[in-house]
Amino acid sequence: MGDIRILDLNLLRALDMLLEEGSVTRAAERLGVTQPAVSNMLTRLRENFGDPLLVRTQRGMTPTTRALDLVAPLKRILCEIGTLCQPDAFDPVAASFTVSIAATDYALQVILLPLIARLRQEAPGITLAVYPLDDARLQEQLEKGQLDMALITPETCPPDLLSSKLFHEEYICAARKNHPTAGMHMTLDQYCAAGHIIVSYEGGQFCGATDKKLETLGRRRHVALSVPNFLALPDLLLKTDLITMAPRRLLHGRKDLTLFSPPSPLIVPGFDKILAWHCRTGSDPRYQWLRSKIAEITIFVSEHI
C-alpha cells in the first residue's frame, strides 16, 4: 500500500471516473484533461494501491477485484468531501445563533430596530448583541470574532475591513408642534435666539459643526442643553421650547414634532452610513443573509422618507 499523503483529491476523482467509464479516453473527456494525464494518474494510482486496478481484456478495461472493493467507499468519500466543500444551505427559520454588532444609538434606532422586527418574522432564532463603538479597537474586535459587524461611517472604517454603503444621511431641524418660532420660515435671527439641544457623544460639549458654521457668519446661538445621545431628543423637544438639528431618519414620521430645514446659510453636510465586517465572515451564508436583510431594510427606509 502506498503513502496516503501523496494520494490527492484529483487522483481519487480520476479513479472514480476510470471505474465508471472503463476507459482512459472517456475518463479524460469527463475530467477535462488530456489522455496522457489520465494515464499518468492511473500509473500513480496503481503504485499507491499496489494493484493494477484496471486490466485490459477483449472487452476493454476491466476492474480488478481490489478496484471493485473500492467503488462504494470511493463514492462515499467523494460525496463527503463535496459536502465539506459546499456549505449547508442557510435556512433562516431554523437558524439559531447570536450576532454581535457595534453601533451608535442612532444606528440602533434607524437600522437595528427595523432589523429586529424583520428577524422576529423571518429568523426568530437569531439574537442580536449590540455593543458600543470603540474606534480604536474595532478592527481587533472584528478580527478576533468579538464582533461580527459594525455600523459606522467611512471615515472611521479601518482599511483592512470589508464594507458596503447603506445610505447617505442629512440633517434636519426639529421642534415640538406649535413651537412659537420654529418652522420652514424660521429666520437666522430667530434660529440664533432660540435655545438649542446638541448631541455630544463625548459628553459636555456645547459646540458642533453648526456653531463653527455660525462663527464664519459672525453669529452665535444659545446651546441650552448637551446630551450624550440622540435617543432622548424627542422627549426633550416635546417638553420644552428647545430646538435641535438631528439626522432626518431619526425623526422621520414623528407626528408630534415639526421638522424643518435650517436657515439657508446653515446647511450642514450629512454623512454616509456603512456596514463593515471582517473577511473571516465574508463567505459565511449566515452573515451574507444578514447583510442582505440590512441592505433591504435601509433601501426600504430610504424610499419612504
How do residues 169-224 score in pLDDT, each as one tens digit? 999 999 999 898 888 888 999 999 999 999 988 777 899 889 998 999 999 999 99
Quote the Cα angle for 56-24-58, to 5°.
25
Residues 102-132 pLDDT 10s: 999 999 999 999 999 999 999 999 999 999 9
pLDDT of residue 209: 85
What integer best gives the mean pLDDT of the chain? 89
pLDDT of residue 197: 96
Looking at residues 24-37, what average pLDDT do you find? Answer: 88
Quote the Cα angle for 258-303-210, to 5°.
45
- What percent of the chain shows pLDDT beyond 70? 95
Count Cα atoms within 13 angstroms, Cβ side, for 258.
18
Residues 56-107 pLDDT 10s: 887 778 889 998 888 888 888 877 776 666 666 789 999 999 999 999 999 9
Decide if pLDDT at 240 tops 90: yes
Please state, in angstroms and rounded to a whole number, the distance separating the CA atoms of residues 139 and 179. 45
Count of other CB atoms within 10 angstroms of residue 107: 23
Looking at residues 23-34, what average pLDDT do you find? Answer: 87
- Which cell is 180 given? 412659537
CB 278 within 8 A of CB 142: yes
CA dihedral 154, 160, 165, 171 (to 10 degrees): -10
Kindly report the three-state secondary structure assignment for every residue of 108-145: HHHHHHHHHHHHHHHCCCEEEEEECCCCCCHHHHHHCC
Decide if pLDDT at 305 tops 60: yes
Please state, in angstroms and rounded to a whole number, the distance separating the CA atoms of residues 75 and 72. 5
SS3 state of residue 55: strand
Q: Is the pTM of this model over 0.85?
A: no
pLDDT of residue 1: 45
pLDDT of residue 17: 87
Least trusted range by pLDDT, from 27-31, 138-142, 160-164: 27-31
Quote the Cα angle for 45-47-51, to 5°.
80
